[in-house]
Amino acid sequence: MRKGSPSHCVALSGGVGGAKLALGLSRVLPGDSLTVVCNTADDFDHLGLRVCPDLDTVMYTLAGISNRVTGWGQAHETWSFLEALSHLGGETWFRLGDRDLATHVERTQRLRAGETLTEVTAALCRALGIAARVLPMSDDPVRTVVLTESGELSFQHYFVRDACAPPVSGFRFAGVDTARPSPAFLAALEDRATAATVVCPSNPFVSVDPVLALDGVEAALRRTRGPVVAVSPIVGGAAIKGPAAKMMAELGMPVTAVGVARHYRERNLLDGFVVDDADAGQAAEIEDLGLPTLVTGTVMETLADRERLAGETIDFARGLDARRGNVAKAAPPERSA
Ligand code: FO1
């Protein structure tokens, strides 16, 4: 799957951590050999505009215009719109920069004109000069609802307005029962040229699970020709960014790479798992779950880190039962109590 090879790779991604690995993958694979499927359950309508944070983080990262300090939004951003809105007494808890605003305006216009989110995203990617294919998980609305002690919160109210403070007891994905996965997403998984699927180091509960919850996705992942490997978002008992570790603790799970591996393995979705050197001591336990495990540096500070991890992850996937073909994956081991 190195440059020059015809093989294709599918990456499932949330925001920041996923986008970093997607960038690495985009740089070690030929331009048309990567499909990045983004969570859209963080999306919401704000100030009359459709905001798609994970799609935008991935797009901006692949286009080289992401804000590396915040992890979301664009670099070299200005805030005139927000300041003017504040002056008028408008809602400013969710910060839309001037450049970023153009994306939401253009997306909203196109959606209102009847384009699908897949079509709009393709147009935005073309305009930003992105070679990889970036897809929303669905063209239909799915919205994460966070279950907390004090009731249900919409995702952005939980995440941004309340700074992830309320303890969580679970999640539900409103709309997922009727939403269909993006046809291009399913086609990519079914494509015989797809040699590997990478679950990026994104939040398992609110970035990856919404994708997996779409009708037909788990079955397509079990059928896809190439191995499915996940990179742990938990390193040394903490999340690199975001509330994944806090959520695991609140849900009563061990805050470990093993905890993440179990979460996916129980659904029989993975063929391999990647953990950080800091968690090398957990590799044997993950292997005991039936998951071959690669131990390597997964913290992506530099571009070189992203490229190295991407290259190692696809080499690892390539080394996993490349002859599996359409044979169904083995059943997961019995759950331990
Ligand atoms: N995250 C914040 O913590 N504060 C913000 O004000 C904020 C604004 C924002 C604007 C556009 C956008 O695409 C993303 C934005 N995010 C912001 C990130 C967003 O909440 C994402 O859902 C999370 O990063 C989770 O992926």
Q: Which of 127, 104, 5 is nearest to 55 (CA)?
A: 104
- Position in ligand 1 atom list of the atom nearest CA 159: 20
Q: Return the structure tokens found at 38.
A: 């983004």
- Give me the phi and psi of 51, to 5 degrees please: -110, 130
Over residues 186-211, the pLDDT tens digits come to: 999 999 999 999 999 999 999 999 99
Residue linked to tokens 């399913």: 186
Q: 129: CA distance to ligand 1 center in Å?
A: 23
Residue 249, Cβ neighbours under 10 Å: how many? Answer: 16
pLDDT for res 194: 94
Residues 232-256 have pLDDT tens digits of 999 999 898 899 999 999 999 999 9
**Strand 168-174 relative to strand 143-148: parallel, antiparallel, unpaired?**
antiparallel
Q: Residue 95 has which token pair?
A: 């910060």
Residue nearest atom 25 of ligand 1, based on CA coordinates: 15
95 lines ligand 1 (CB under 6 A): yes
Residue 269 to residue 256: CA distance in whole angstroms:
19
Pocket test residue of 66, 160, 206, 209 for ligand 1, highest count of atoms within 8 A of CB = 160
Residue 54 Cα, ligand 1 centroid: separation in angstroms?
9
Q: Report the predicted TM-score, pTM, of the whole model to 2 decimal places.
A: 0.93
Residue 191, pLDDT score: 94
Average pLDDT over residues 24-47: 95
* Cα 133 to ligand 1 centroid, rounded to whole Å: 22
Token pair recorded at residue 10: 């599918």
Residue 333 in this model has a pLDDT that exceeds 50: no
What pLDDT does residue 323 have? 40
CA 128/CA 170 separation, integer angstroms: 37
Cα of 287 vs centre of ligand 1, distance in Å, is 35
The alpha carbon dihedral of 60, 64, 66, 68 has a sign of: positive
Give the sign of the dihedral formed by CA 248, CA 250, CA 255, CA 259. negative
Q: Which atom of ligand 1 is nearest to the CA of 56?
A: 13
Share of the chain above pLDDT 90, in %: 89
Q: What is the average per-residue pLDDT within 208-235?
A: 97
CB 146 within 8 A of CB 168: yes
What is the Å distance from ligand 1's center to 51 Cα?
A: 9
Q: Which residue's structure tokens are 């788990």?
A: 218
Amino acid at 211: V
Ligand 1 neighbourhood includes 42 CB (under 6 angstroms): yes
C-beta 156 within 6 A of ligand 1: yes
DSSP string, 25-92: HHHHS-GGGEEEEE--TT-EEETTEEE-HHHHHHHHHHHT-B-TTTSSSBTT---HHHHHHHHTT---
- Asked whether the beta carbons of 257 and 270 are under 8 A apart, the reply is no
Is 53 touching ligand 1 by the criterion CB < 6 Å? yes
- Residue 321 is predicted with a pLDDT of 56
Rounded average pLDDT over 155-159: 97
Mean pLDDT of 330-336: 42
Q: Across the strands, what pairs with 50? A: 45
Report, as an integer, the average pLDDT of 83-106: 98
Q: What share of the chain is helix, strand, coil (3-state, %, to 5)?
A: 40, 20, 40
Residue 324 has pLDDT above 80, yes or no: no
- Helices of type H across 155-290: 155-156, 183-190, 209-212, 217-223, 244-250, 257-265, 283-288
